[in-house]
Amino acid sequence: MQYPMSDSSSYSDAFIPPDALHREEALLAPYAMRTRWSRGRRHQEVEHPYRTPYQRDRDRIVHSAAFRRLMYKTQVLVNDYGDEHRTRMTHTLEVAQISRTIARQLGLNEDLTEAIALAHDLGHPPFGHAGEYALDDCMANHGGYEHNRFGLRLVETLESRYPGFPGLNLTWEVRESMAYHSKRPESPEVKEYLVAGQPFLEAQLVDAADSLAYDCHDLDDALSAGLIELDDLNGVGFVRRAREDLRQRFGDLSREQVQPALVRTLIDWQVNDLLQQTRQNLAAHGVRSAEDIRRAPELVAGQGSEIHGLKAELEELLHREVYRHYRVARMTNKAQRVLRMLFDEFRRTPTALPPRFARRIPESGLEQTICDYVASMTDRSAQDEYLRLFHPYESV
């Protein structure tokens, strides 16, 4: 069985497992994305007899090397803080499960939602945003670097798993969801996807879930790592309210009990508010179809104004006290130096690149190839590579 389609056509019902189609019609809201509306894959291929294309996208992402590398990529804190803080991988899993809960409540396509969530941070370089700034600097005269665009490059070109095509050959919708966050919308590889109006609702909600997840878990990690204390948070309205709510429900909780309960409360409030506000927006914009979402004058998924304000105040504190904490700043500086030195060293000595990257130089150019290699690294492999290249007694 083969899909007679490419990016420019859509799936025909005949090529989708029929029970999946029936299930979608029975369960999905009218504004949810249907598998049969997908703009399909870039390269034609035989589809699976009982997994829909979006289920298959999800599986391809989970089985990719880029996904496994998320395990050793920084979210905010690097590994020297211990074993229990979030990594890019656990952040991604939290976003996926929160997004699925919301998708099911709204009658959206859960398979598509899950695939988008699992792919949303694939393009992050080592050392989080610090690494992104460093690489963007290194690439200043060669198109720059930005993680969403690199995520697209990974799934379209750099992943190598299938004999018939480069990349993962994901459906248009998952690729579009990666493109629409890009801060370089004018670049050709991104522009191609920004043609359909607003993002579909599944993509919008993953974005909102991403934001609520990292606010809460960055707070949790910062408390656990001792970067901030619970009492530092008395001035933050969101936290004050949550602690008051907990006191009323449970009386006096111990320090150990307060922290997880606080984080749970903040997630719950935001998820409930997101559901309520999104339903209101759907009604206010008279949304009756997925096309209405595309044509809406603004994003339909979002927090209400009260929670939005409380969230902004919490984010302000995280920026001030956590992301700019002196211990985080030290690591940030070190990380940027490591990536710059790696980049410069490979530029001076391209023969030191591993063959599977060196082979790409004629097609991609030297700088883009180095960027592909360095951005694909984890924190751990970047540190190891640094030692191999610069430490006199490290084996190469």
Give me the residues that bind Mg ion (CB under 5 A), please.
121, 210
Measure CA 36 to chain center: 25
Q: Which of 392, 213, 386, 243 is nearest to 315 (CA)?
A: 213
Name the 3-class secondary structure at 126.
coil
Q: For the CB of residue 207, give the shortest distance to Mg ion in the complex, in Å.
A: 9
Q: For the CB of residue 92, give the shortest distance to Mg ion in the complex, in Å.
A: 7
148, two tokens? 């969403």
Rounded CA-CA distance 55/204 in Å is 19
Tell me which amino acid residue 20 is: A
* 10/101 with CB nearer Mg ion: 101
* 24/132 with CB nearer Mg ion: 132
* 121/218 with CB nearer Mg ion: 121
Q: For the CB of residue 7, give the shortest distance to Mg ion in the complex, in Å.
A: 26
Q: For the CB of residue 135, give the shortest distance to Mg ion in the complex, in Å.
A: 18
Phi, psi (rounded to 5 degrees) for 309: -65, -45
* CA distance readout (Å), 181 to 41, 184, 345: 20, 9, 31
Measured at the CA of 130, the angle between CA 129 and CA 131, to 5 degrees, comes to 90
Rounded CA-CA distance 93/60 in Å is 15
* 38/113 with CB nearer Mg ion: 113
Rounded CA-CA distance 43/359 in Å is 23
* 111/210 with CB nearer Mg ion: 210
107, two tokens? 């009658």
Rounded CA-CA distance 365/358 in Å is 10
Q: For the CB of residue 208, give the shortest distance to Mg ion in the complex, in Å.
A: 11
Q: For the CB of residue 95, give the shortest distance to Mg ion in the complex, in Å.
A: 6
* 86/153 with CB nearer Mg ion: 86
